[in-house]
Structure 1
Amino acid sequence: MRKVTYKGGPMTEAMYYVLLALLQPNHGYQLMQAIADVSRGRLQMGPGTLYGVLSRMQKDGLISLAEEDGRRKTYQITAAGEQALRAEYNRLQSLLRDGSLLEGSDGNE
C-alpha cells in the first residue's frame, strides 16, 4: 500500500479538475477531454501539465493506476483522493458563502 503524502490544503485548479474527471477511471487523452467537459470548456489541459499533475497526485496517494496496457495508463481516484476532493469542494463552498457579502454591493463602498 502506497503511503499518502498529500498534506491537504488548497488544491490547484488542475488538481481539482483532474480529481473530478477521475471519478470515472480515464487514460490521458480521455482525461483531457473529461476535464474540458467537467469545466464546461473553461479549462483546456495540455499533456505536459496533465502528466505533471498525474505524477504528483500519484506520489501523494490521491490517484492510482487502474490499468496499464502498453503505453496507455488508466488512472482512478483513490479513497484518499475522494476525501481530499470533498474537502476542497467544501472549502470552495465556504469561500462562495463568505463572498456573498459582495451581493448587492456596487463595488464602490
Structure 2
Amino acid sequence: MKYTGGPMTEAMYYVLLTLMNPSHGYGLMNAIAEVSNGRVNMGPGTLYGVLARMQKEGLIVLMESDGRRKTYEITSGGEQALRHEYSRLQALIKDGKVLKEGEMNE
C-alpha cells in the first residue's frame, strides 16, 4: 500500500512535520503538542496506528529499534507529501481571504 496523495489527516500532517527530526513515539507525542502549541494532543493508540499506516505507505521508515523504543524518520517521499500538503493548506488559507474581506466590509 503506497500513499496516493490527497488531503492528509491532521494526525498524519503533524507526525510528518515532527519527523523532520527523527524521533521515537513518546518524543513524537511531546513534539506534536509543542509544534501545535498544545492544540493537538495525540494519544499512543492514535499515534501508533498512524505510524503503522504511514510506514506501510512509505512515508516513514523505522530507523532503529532497541526492543522497547522505535525511532522513526521521514522518507524523501514522505517529505514530498508533507510539502505538497503544506502547499494545499496554504491555498486553503488564501482562498479564505473572502472571510477577512467580509469582516472589513461590515
* Residue 7 of structure 1, CA deviation: 0.2
Task: Give me the CA root mean square deviation.
Answer: 1.2
Identical columns (%): 69
Whether 2:85 is the aligned partner of 1:91: answer: no
Deviations 1:22-79 (A, max 9, x none): 0000001001000001111100000000000000000000000111111210000000
Please state which structure has a larger fraction of its residues in helix. 2
Instruction: Work out the CA distance in 2 between the residues paired with 1:7 and 1:58.
Output: 14
**What TM-score results when the alignment is normalised by the length of structure 2?**
0.94
Q: What is the match of residue 47 of structure 1?
A: 44
Pick from 14, 17, 28: which aligns with 2:25?
28
Structure 1 stretches of 4+ moved >4 Å? none
Q: Which amino acid aligns with 1:99?
A: G
Task: Flag structure 2 segments of 5+ consecutive residues without an equivalent.
Answer: none
Whether 2:100 is the aligned partner of 1:100: answer: no
Whether 2:2 is the aligned partner of 1:5: answer: yes
Q: What is the match of residue 78 of structure 1?
A: 75
3-state SS, counterpart of residue 71 of structure 1: coil
**What TM-score results when the alignment is normalised by the length of structure 1?**
0.92
Instruction: Work out the CA distance in 1 between the residues paired with 2:31 and 2:89.
Output: 21
Q: What is the match of residue 54 of structure 2?
A: 57
Task: Flag structure 1 segments of 5+ consecutive residues without an equivalent.
Answer: none
